[in-house]
Amino acid sequence: MHYLDNAATTPVLPEAAAEAARVMCEEFGNPSSLHKLGIEASRVLENSRKTVAGALGCTAEEITFTSCGTESTNLSLRGAAHLNRHKKGRIITTAIEHAATINTAKALEQDGFTVVFLKPDATGHITPDALSEALTEDTVLLSCQLVNNEIGTVQPVAELGRRLKVACPKALFHIDAVQGLFRVPLEPKKWSCDLMSVSGHKIGAPKGIGALYMKKGLRLPPLMTGGGQERGLRPGTEPMPNIAAFAKACEMRQAGFADDLTQVRGLAAYLREQVAEKLPYAAFNGESDIPHVQNFSVAGCKSEVMLRVLESDEVYVSSGSACSKGKQSEVLRALGLGKDRTDTALRVSFAPFNTEEDVDALIAAIEKGAKMLRR
């Protein structure tokens, strides 16, 4: 098997799975319980929080555990909107965000907020000048991806945050860093960031666990009410096995960050060499700033058909965001690409366990598919 769809999800690291099993079987207490087992579970919870905080460049008290990146994003956008529910100000985001942001912003628009979707330039970047033009004195929130999940562009979040805070000091800045965690160093405090979303299953932790960075001193209303866990922002008994596994994955990826990046850079360079040499009818989309995500179109080969061809050879990639479920990519359309490119796009996303053999298998399978489809 050649798995190259790591932007959708990653295999669970064996060490993370083992930690989840250990906590599930040996430290299964409820961290809210006051007896010994509860106290031991609470210790695991807080140690895990410190580990995840270290990965996000913040303090433990600024971390809230959630079920996923989507929940963290909803908490951020809906919470910021609730704080400004009386003035119904302006929310700024981009046209190339994940569905969690796009659809939440559209829902808030229905609630009376003005929502602006900034368009990227031809390379897939949001320019600071585009933001400056959109800012008004009633702006209450800016939400922007750090790393785009389809084309791998890294947005200039430090400058975007600076311009937001100069023009609208009270506005909140949310960063979707789901694809950025352990792809680039996270520095929310240097980026004027108030809220940041991350997800465990993108880095080798199980599905069903995420985290939200919330700047110290900021208080948001919860989406749910309950027993007051996670300081009341995310009530409900904490999923301790997943939390412990998330922390273990963070620990391992942090330790291997430099080597992992070197490995993935080599794979991305090798992929581009092989595409140039063997697939002259293919064209890369956007300007990927990280090596982990590469997007290219194979002229004359519809994505949905090519994916089936690749699958028959046990090569797994995608045509875009997993959450789009095969719909035409709004990200590529926002770049101004025509139907001939958006209908034939493939997203290859690497993890450190991938090898050049995976790339060779991918290229061979595409060549096989192209012979059948390019007639």
Indicate the residue type of 233: L
> In sequence order, what are the residues at sequence separation of 6 or more whose Cβ sits closer than 8 angstroms to the Cβ of residue 96?
120, 124, 126, 145, 148, 150, 151, 330, 331, 334, 335
The whole-angstrom separation of Cα 175 and Cα 183 is 15
Helix, coil or strand: residue 375: coil
CA distance 152 to 300: 24
Q: Which residues make beta-bridge pairs with 199?
A: 210
Contact in structure between 209 and 249 (CB atoms under 8 Å): no
Tell me phi and psi for residue 239, to 5 degrees. Answer: -80, 80
> Residue 235: beta bridge partners?
none
Burial code (b: 16+ CB inside 10 Å, e: under 16) for 284-321 equals: bbbebbbbbbbbbbbeebebeebbebbeebebbbbbbb
* Residue ranges with strand state E in the chain: 2-3, 63-66, 90-94, 114-118, 139-145, 172-176, 195-199, 210-214, 282-284, 293-298, 315-316, 345-349
Is 144 labeled as catalytic in the residue annotation?
no
The catalytic site residues sit at 323
